[in-house]
Chains A and B, each alone.
Chain A
Amino acid sequence: MAEPIQKVSIIVSKGSLEGIYPALIMANGARAEGIAANLFFTFFGLDAIHKRRYEHLKVATVGNPGLHLATLAGGLPGVSSVMTLYMERKMEKLDNPPVPEFLQMIADSGAGLYGCKASCDLFEVSRDDLIEPVKDIITVGEFYQLAAGGQIIFT
């Protein structure tokens, strides 16, 4: 049998609900299997840990062919909100936690949540803007140190 995975470091670079949620499932799933996990939020992925934004993540209804909705229709005001609500209800029925609860769960499982320094500088985000479970804002070099000896997943 192949050597089991010991550690994963997952980079979250997208700010849409469907861009963030899979990374959270992978981090949580890793911890559930006893695998060490880190999450590194960069660029628009920072929204997932931003106090004012993390409760309002939206499904992308434009430029998302997988949604099978005409781009023109997806761009109408309110469509993204309605689609997000629809998806959130479906997820709730399946007992999938909403993003804020999921992030807390993952932090409680011992996984590390980190903000990317370059992105925080770019978007003028400070530690106080980020949610409490976040451990720190770190540089790319520090991220590689944390990730050493494990697998890196970019989402």
Chain B
Amino acid sequence: MPNATYVGRTVSVNDEGFLINPDQWSREMAPEIARAEGIDELTQQHWRVIDFMRHEYQEKGSGPTVRVLGKTSGVSIKELYQLFPKGPAKLAAKIAGIPKPRGCI
């Protein structure tokens, strides 16, 4: 299993770079993971989505789909794609340190 180092701490990640153990994640790691994915700066809106992802994961055991994000996070689907151009659910999950959501929709 590969490792990655964010803010000087080593974490286990899968082949796609998602954290294996969400408990190893800390808020300080998020900007560094984001930069590696081409997002230079995490704005308040990015954080709104990231916090929502963490919250949903803790409540339900998996990250939300883009549809759920658009309906309940308070950020529209249009804006979600502007914030995370390479796929909102996937990228926000990675930055939030939770597993990649596995739904088809």
Chain A interface (Cβ within 8 Å of chain B)? 25, 28-29, 31-34, 95-97, 105, 108-110
Q: Are B81 and A109 in contact (CB under 8 A)?
A: yes
Chain B residues packing against A (C-beta within 8 Å): 65-68, 70, 76-78, 81, 85-91, 104-105
- Contact residue among A28, A29, A34, A105 (Cβ-Cβ distance under 8 Å from B85): A34
Alpha-carbon gap, A135 to B87, bound state (A): 22
| B90 & A105 in contact (Cβ 8 Å cutoff) | no
The answer to whether residues A95 and B104 also contact, given A31-B87, A105-B77, A108-B78 and a CB cut-off of 8 A, is no
Q: Enumerate chain B residues within 8 angstroms of A109, measured Cβ to Cβ.
A: 66, 77, 81
18 pairs, A vs B, C-beta closer than 8 Å: A25-B104, A28-B66, A29-B104, A31-B87, A32-B66, A32-B88, A32-B89, A33-B87, A34-B91, A95-B67, A96-B105, A97-B105, A105-B66, A105-B70, A108-B76, A108-B81, A109-B77, A109-B81
What is the CA–CA distance of A96 and B65 in the complex, to the nearest angstrom? Answer: 11
State which of A29, A33, A96, A110 has its C-beta within 8 Å of the C-beta of B81.
A110
Complexed CA–CA distance, A32 and B66 (Å):
8
B interface majority secondary structure: helix
Contact: B105 with A25, CB < 8 Å? Answer: yes
A32 touches B87 (CB 8 A): yes
By a CB distance below 8 angstroms, the chain B residues around A32 are 66, 87-90
In Å, the complex CA distance between A31 and B90 comes to: 11
- Distance in angstroms between the alpha carbons of A13 and B78 in the assembled complex: 27
- Taking the closest CB of chain A, its distance from the CB of B67, in whole angstroms, is 6
B86 / chain A contacts, CB cutoff of 8 Å: 33-34
Minimum CB–CB distance for A1 against chain B, Å: 9
Given known contacts A34-B86, A97-B105, what 17 new A-B pairs fall within 8 Å (CB)? A28-B66, A28-B105, A32-B90, A33-B86, A33-B90, A34-B85, A34-B87, A95-B65, A95-B67, A95-B68, A96-B105, A105-B66, A105-B70, A105-B77, A108-B70, A108-B77, A109-B81
* Choice from B68, B81, B91 contacting A31 with Cβ under 8 Å: B81
